[in-house]
Structure 1
Amino acid sequence: MNTKYIDLINQTFDFPQEEFKIDTKKNLHFHDIDTMKLAEEFGTPLKFTYLPKISENIIKAKTWFKTAMRKHKYKGRYHYCYCTKSSHFKHVLDEALSNNIHIETSSAVDIDIIENLKRAGKITDKTYILSNGFKRDEYVKKIQGLINSGHRNCIPIIDNYEEIDLLTDGIRKKINIGIRIASEEEPKFEFYTSRLGIGYKNIVDFYRRDIKENKKVNLKMLHFFINTGIKDNAYYWNELSKCLKVYINLKRICPTLDSLNIGGGFPIKNSLGFDYDYEYMIDEIISQIKIACDDAEVETPHIFTEFGSYTVGESGGALYKVLYQKKQNDRENWNMINSSFITTLPDSWAINKRFVMLPLNRWNDTYERVLLGGLTCDSDDYYNSEQHMNAIYLPVYKDEKPLYLGFFNTGAYQESIGGYGGLQHCLIPQPKHIIISKNNEGKLEYKVFKEQQKPSDFLKILGYE
Structure 2
Amino acid sequence: MNTKYYDLINQTFYFPQEEFTLNNDNNLLFHNIDLMKLVEQYGSPLKFTYLPQISNNINRAKGWFRKAMEKHNYPGNYYYCYCTKSSHFEYVMNEAFKNNIHIETSSAFDINIVENLLENNKINKDTYVVCNGFKRDQYISNIARLINNGHKNTIPVIDNYEELDLLQEKIEGKFPIGIRIASEEEPKFEFYTSRLGIGYKNIVPFYRKAIQENKNVELKMLHFFINTGIRDTAYYWNELSKCLKVYINLKRECPTLDSLNIGGGFPIKNSLTFDYDYAYMVDEIINQIKIACDEGEVDCPNIYTEFGSFTVGESAGAIYKVLYQKQQNDREKWNMIDSSFITTLPDTWAINKRFIMLAVNRWNDTYERVLLGGLTCDSDDYYNSEQNLNAIYLPKYNKEKPLYIGFFNTGAYQESIGGQGGLHHCLIPQPKHILIDRDENGIIATEVFSEQQQAEDVLKILGYK
Q: Is the 8 A contact 1:159 1:198 kept in 2?
A: yes
Amino acid at match of 1:280: Y
**Counterparts of 1:445-460 in structure 2 under 5 Å?**
445-460=445-460
**Counterparts of 1:223-262 in structure 2 under 5 Å?**
223-262=223-262
Counterpart in the other structure of 2:280: 280
Q: Deviations over 1:135-172 (max 9, x none)?
A: 00000000000000110100000000000000011321
How far 1:23 sits from its partner (Å)?
1.1
Counterpart in the other structure of 2:72: 72
How far 1:40 sits from its partner (Å)?
1.3
Amino acid at match of 1:379: S
Q: Is the 8 A contact 2:21 2:32 kept in 1?
A: no
Counterpart in the other structure of 2:462: 462
Amino acid at match of 2:108: A
Secondary structure of the residue aligned to 2:262 is: strand
**2-structure distance, mates of 1:191, 1:228:** 13
Counterpart in the other structure of 2:49: 49
Q: Is the 8 A contact 1:423 1:458 kept in 2?
A: yes
**2-structure distance, mates of 1:172, 1:333:** 65
Amino acid at match of 1:381: D
| TM-score, reference length from structure 1 | 1.00
Q: Percent identity?
A: 75
Amino acid at match of 2:237: W
**2-structure distance, mates of 1:119, 1:243:** 37
Counterpart in the other structure of 1:378: 378
Matching of residue 427 in structure 1 with residue 427 in structure 2: yes
Amino acid at match of 1:121: N
Aligned length: 465
Q: Is the 8 A contact 2:125 2:152 kept in 1?
A: yes
Secondary structure of the residue aligned to 1:358 is: strand
**2-structure distance, mates of 1:157, 1:331:** 54
**Counterparts of 1:288-307 in structure 2 under 5 Å?**
288-307=288-307
| Ranges in structure 2 where 5+ consecutive residues have no aligned partner | none
Secondary structure of the residue aligned to 2:411 is: coil
Secondary structure of the residue aligned to 1:130 is: strand
Amino acid at match of 1:325: Q
Matching of residue 208 in structure 1 with residue 202 in structure 2: no
Counterpart in the other structure of 1:347: 347
Deviant stretches of 4+, over 3 Å: none
Counterpart in the other structure of 2:392: 392
How far 1:32 sits from its partner (Å)?
2.2
| TM-score, reference length from structure 2 | 1.00
How far 1:188 sits from its partner (Å)?
1.6
Secondary structure of the residue aligned to 1:210 is: helix
**2-structure distance, mates of 1:186, 1:428:** 37
How far 1:323 sits from its partner (Å)?
0.1
Amino acid at match of 2:378: D
Q: Is the 8 A contact 2:106 2:133 kept in 1?
A: yes
Counterpart in the other structure of 2:127: 127
Matching of residue 405 in structure 1 with residue 421 in structure 2: no
**2-structure distance, mates of 1:39, 1:87:** 24
Counterpart in the other structure of 2:164: 164
**2-structure distance, mates of 1:170, 1:42:** 50
Secondary structure of the residue aligned to 2:230 is: coil
Q: Is the 8 A contact 1:225 1:264 kept in 2?
A: yes
How far 1:229 sits from its partner (Å)?
0.6
Q: Is the 8 A contact 1:265 1:307 kept in 2?
A: yes
Matching of residue 220 in structure 1 with residue 191 in structure 2: no
Q: Is the 8 A contact 1:228 1:264 kept in 2?
A: no
How far 1:264 sits from its partner (Å)?
2.8
Q: Is the 8 A contact 2:319 2:407 kept in 1?
A: yes
Q: Deviations over 1:203-231 (max 9, x none)?
A: 01110011101111011000000111100
**2-structure distance, mates of 1:275, 1:58:** 19
**1-structure distance, mates of 2:125, 2:165:** 24
**1-structure distance, mates of 2:213, 2:347:** 46
**1-structure distance, mates of 2:212, 2:11:** 62
Q: Deviations over 1:296-342 (max 9, x none)?
A: 11100000000000000000100000000000001100000000000
Counterpart in the other structure of 1:318: 318
Amino acid at match of 1:129: V
**1-structure distance, mates of 2:4, 2:187:** 43
**2-structure distance, mates of 1:335, 1:420:** 26
Secondary structure of the residue aligned to 2:224 is: strand
Q: Deviations over 1:158-203 (max 9, x none)?
A: 0000000000113211110000000101112111100000000110
Amino acid at match of 1:389: L
Counterpart in the other structure of 2:95: 95
**2-structure distance, mates of 1:187, 1:132:** 25
**2-structure distance, mates of 1:266, 1:126:** 25
Q: Deviations over 1:388-412 (max 9, x none)?
A: 0111100010111100000000000
Secondary structure of the residue aligned to 1:449 is: strand
Counterpart in the other structure of 1:174: 174
| Ranges in structure 1 where 5+ consecutive residues have no aligned partner | none
Aligned-CA RMSD value: 0.5
Secondary structure of the residue aligned to 2:283 is: helix
Secondary structure of the residue aligned to 2:170 is: coil
Secondary structure of the residue aligned to 2:80 is: strand
Counterpart in the other structure of 1:151: 151
Amino acid at match of 2:341: F
Q: Is the 8 A contact 2:377 2:426 kept in 1?
A: yes
**1-structure distance, mates of 2:234, 2:319:** 38
**2-structure distance, mates of 1:330, 1:295:** 66
**1-structure distance, mates of 2:345, 2:90:** 20
**1-structure distance, mates of 2:462, 2:39:** 31
Secondary structure of the residue aligned to 2:208 is: helix
Secondary structure of the residue aligned to 1:330 is: coil
**2-structure distance, mates of 1:314, 1:250:** 37
Counterpart in the other structure of 1:331: 331
Amino acid at match of 2:329: N
Secondary structure of the residue aligned to 1:10 is: helix
**1-structure distance, mates of 2:131, 2:306:** 11
Q: Is the 8 A contact 1:80 1:306 kept in 2?
A: yes
**2-structure distance, mates of 1:323, 1:62:** 44
Amino acid at match of 1:222: L
Amino acid at match of 1:20: F
Amino acid at match of 1:165: D
Amino acid at match of 2:221: M
Amino acid at match of 1:314: E
